[in-house]
Amino acid sequence: MNVLKLAWRALAALALALALVPAVFAQSGTAKVRVIHASPDAPAVDVFVNGNRTLTNVPFFTASDYLDLAPGSYRLQIAPTGQPASAAVIDATTTFQAGKAYSVAATGPVAAIKPTVIQDNLSAPASGNARVRVYHFSSDAPAVDVKVANGATLISNLAFPDASAYLDVPAGVYNLQVTPAGGSAVVIDLASTTLESGKIYSVFATNLVAQITPQVAVTTPVAAPGTLPATSEGATAPLALLAGMAAALIAMAVLLRRRAAL
C-alpha cells in the first residue's frame, strides 16, 4: 500500500475518532439535583454530600436550586443545623446519572422521616406552553385529585410521597383545586394561578393535613439536557490534540497527492 493511501486511511480513522469524542464527553456531563426540606416537624437542617456540609440552616419548607453534581453514587446525610453528619436523621446513598435531574426530599414527620428521590424533567415545554408537576408531600393527607375549578380533573389519585406526571398546558391563568381523590371538598385552592410560557412549575402539597399548604417553585428549563458541560483545559486537550493531528494529516495527504500527480 502506498504512502498516500495510508495517509488517507489514517485521516478517515481520525475523523471517526473526532466524531466519537463529543459523545464520550457528553457522558461525563453533570446531573442536576435539588434538595427539599418537606418534613413538617423537623428543625432547620444541614445537608451533607459525601461527608461535606453542602447546605446549611435549611428550614421547612425549602426547595434549593438545582445543584450540579458529577454523575455517580453519593452519600446524602441530613442533620439538625449545627450538628455533625454523625447526627443525621437521614443517611442514604443515591446514584445520579449524567444529563438527568432529581429532587431529593426529606419527607414525613421526624419520627418517620425518610428520603424521597424523584427524577425530574427540565427540558423545555413546547412553544407557548408551561409545564406543571404536583408533588404530594403531606404525609397524613389522603390521595388527591388536581382539578380545574368547575372543570376537568388533571391529575387523579396522587398519593404521598409521589409526584404526578408532567402536564404541558397553554400558558395562561388557571383556577386550580386539590381535593381528596374522588371527592369534592377543596383542600388547596390555587385560584388565579398564572403559568408563564416556557417555565416549569413544581407545586408541592406540604405540611400535615390540618395545615396543608401549597408551595410553588418555578424553574427555567435546561435547553438540552445532557449536552456538554463546561470543561477544564485538561478535559478539552484530547479534542484539541486530535484536531491538530487531523489538520496535519490533511496537509500531508494534499502534499502527497500533489507529488503523486507530478
What cell numbers appear for 146 in the block?
388536581
Query: Which class in CATH covers the domain with range 122-226?
Result: mainly beta
Distance CA 201, CA 212 (A): 19
Residue 92's pLDDT is: 95
> What confidence score (pLDDT) does residue 44 get?
96
What is the model's pLDDT at position 39? 97
Residues in the chain: 262
CB neighbours (10 Å) of residue 184? 9
Phi-psi region at 26: left, alpha or beta (left = phi > 0; alpha = psi -120 to 50) = alpha
**How do the domains of the chain map onto residue ranges?**
3-25+228-261, 30-120, 122-226
**Type and span of the H or E element at 148:** strand 144-148
Check residue 150 and give its pLDDT. 87
Single out the residue of 176, 180, 209, 206 nearest to residue 190, CA to CA.
176
The domain made up of 30-120 is a member of CATH 3.90.550 = no
Phi-psi region of 2 (alpha: psi -120 to 50; beta: other; left: phi over 0): beta
Q: What is the pLDDT of residue 223?
A: 53
Q: Which portions of the chain are predicted below pLDDT 50?
A: 1-28, 224-262
Which residues, listed in sequence order, are joined to residue 102 by a DSSP beta bridge? 33, 119
| Residue 222, pLDDT score | 82
